[in-house]
């Protein structure tokens, strides 16, 4: 048994927004983070609004050159989606091992984002794709960039009466991609550090590079300094090593030296290097 609460299951998004703005509710979708949270408490001082049944917030579609992923789309649905497989294989890779199958079948992409766990698997890939979050409240809608939406570990810029409706992005232009994930046990361990990269190589020269680490910086975001370093050059192991070192420098600049730095620094350097080597398809 969990601590006690009242439970309501609205039928439509409209009804959900109304309930959400008037009472002290927390939202539950797939429940895979929320129930673990609730289990830690002896008492909880909120009620539960179950939005898991809202069809309006489910599914993946392409509209006017943008891809929209409904906030309640599960990891399994993202993974098997033909649109994602074709247009955003980087995201497909990122959710491949996001928890066990049992978790991927329930956990939603919107829940993952709103919890803003630094270890969220989908976030670095979505940030690499320059994704936006589309929020809705009874007052209307607004759109924010994902990396600005997540403001701190476990904290976002969402307003009290807002619900995340969808995540959207334009398919990126790239010649290679890679999602590198470090975990303890592949299927389950909440992802430790990871990095999503995209490379666009034309005539042997890197035209553009995207490097988006997860669980490395305090908040998700691309490392522009390392991207600039790679751009305009010929892909090589040496170059990618430098890019990795740049990422770790920026990490230390942002987070300072911590007990974990001694471990994280060489690991992130190698991860970035390897991800870029894979994405470039070169041998070293």
Of 30 and 244, CB closest to another protein: 30
Of 190 and 282, CB closest to another protein: 190
- Residue ranges in 159-218 that form contacts with another protein under rule CB under 8 A: 186-188
Shortest separation between residue 35's beta carbon and another protein, angstroms: 5
Regarding 3 and contact with another protein (CB under 8 A), the answer is yes
Structure-token pair, residue 30: 């797939």
Q: How far apart, in whole angstroms, are the C-alpha atoms of residue 213 and residue 37? A: 25
Shortest separation between residue 196's beta carbon and another protein, angstroms: 22
Of 76 and 255, CB closest to another protein: 76
Regarding 257 and contact with another protein (CB under 8 A), the answer is no
- Residue ranges in 15-54 that form contacts with another protein under rule CB under 8 A: 28, 30-32, 35-36, 39, 48, 50, 52-53
Structure-token pair, residue 261: 């730095």
Q: How far apart, in whole angstroms, are the C-alpha atoms of residue 270 and residue 273? A: 5
Give the length of the chain.
284
Regarding 2 and contact with another protein (CB under 8 A), the answer is yes
Q: How far apart, in whole angstroms, are the C-alpha atoms of residue 258 and residue 157? A: 27
Return the number of other C-beta atoms located less than 10 Å from residue 143's C-beta: 12
- Contact yes or no for 67/166 (Cβ under 8 A): no
Of 34 and 172, CB closest to another protein: 34
Shortest separation between residue 47's beta carbon and another protein, angstroms: 9
- Contact yes or no for 220/127 (Cβ under 8 A): yes
Structure-token pair, residue 88: 């955003």
Shortest separation between residue 263's beta carbon and another protein, angstroms: 24
- Residue ranges in 84-143 that form contacts with another protein under rule CB under 8 A: 99-103, 105-106
Q: How far apart, in whole angstroms, are the C-alpha atoms of residue 126 and residue 196? A: 9
Of 1 and 257, CB closest to another protein: 1
Residue from 1, 64, 256, 257 binding another protein (CB under 8 A): 1
Of the candidate spans 5-13, 81-89, 264-272, 276-284, the one that interacts with another protein by CB under 8 A turns out to be 5-13
Of 188 and 205, CB closest to another protein: 188
CA angle 87, 12, 162 (to 5 degrees): 70
- Contact yes or no for 129/169 (Cβ under 8 A): yes
Residue with tokens 């909120």: 46
Evaluated on CA atoms 123, 126, 130, 132, the torsion sign reads negative
Of 186 and 253, CB closest to another protein: 186
Q: How far apart, in whole angstroms, are the C-alpha atoms of residue 73 and residue 166? A: 9
**For helices 261-280 and 237-255, what crossing angle results, to 10°?**
140
Regarding 7 and contact with another protein (CB under 8 A), the answer is yes
Shortest separation between residue 103's beta carbon and another protein, angstroms: 6
| Interface contacts to another protein, rule CB under 8 A | 1-7, 9, 28, 30-32, 35-36, 39, 48, 50, 52-53, 76, 99-103, 105-106, 186-188
């Amino acid at each position: 048994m969990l601590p006690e609460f009242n439970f309501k299951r609205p039928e439509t998004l409209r009804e959900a927004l109304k309930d959400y703005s008037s009472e002290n509710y927390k939202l539950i979708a797939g429940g895979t983070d929320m129930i673990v949270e609730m289990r830690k408490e002896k008492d909880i001082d909120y009620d539960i609004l179950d939005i898991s049944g809202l069809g309006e917030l489910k599914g993946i579609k392409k509209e006017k050159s943008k891809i929209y992923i409904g906030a309640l789309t599960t990891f399994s649905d993202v993974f098997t989606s033909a649109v994602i497989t074709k247009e955003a294989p980087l995201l497909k890779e990122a959710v491949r091992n996001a928890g066990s199958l049992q978790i991927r079948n329930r956990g939603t992409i919107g829940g993952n984002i709103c919890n803003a766990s630094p270890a969220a698997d989908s976030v670095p890939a979505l940030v690499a794709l320059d994704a936006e979050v589309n929020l809705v409240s009874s007052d209307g809608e607004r759109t924010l960039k994902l990396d600005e939406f997540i403001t701190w570990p476990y904290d976002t810029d969402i307003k009290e009466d807002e619900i995340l409706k969808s995540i959207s992005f334009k398919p990126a232009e790239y010649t290679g991609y890679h999602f590198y994930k470090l975990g303890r046990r592949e299927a389950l361990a909440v992802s430790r550090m990871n990095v999503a990269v995209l490379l666009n190589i034309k005539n042997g020269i890197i035209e553009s590079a995207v490097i988006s680490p997860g669980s490395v910086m305090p908040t998700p975001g691309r490392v522009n300094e390392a991207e600039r370093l790679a751009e305009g050059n010929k892909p090589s192991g040496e170059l990618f090593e430098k890019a990795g070192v740049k990422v770790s420098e920026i990490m230390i600049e942002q987070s300072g030296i911590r007990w974990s730095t001694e471990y994280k620094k060489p690991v992130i350097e190698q991860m970035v290097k390897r991800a870029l080597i894979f994405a470039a398809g070169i041998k070293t």
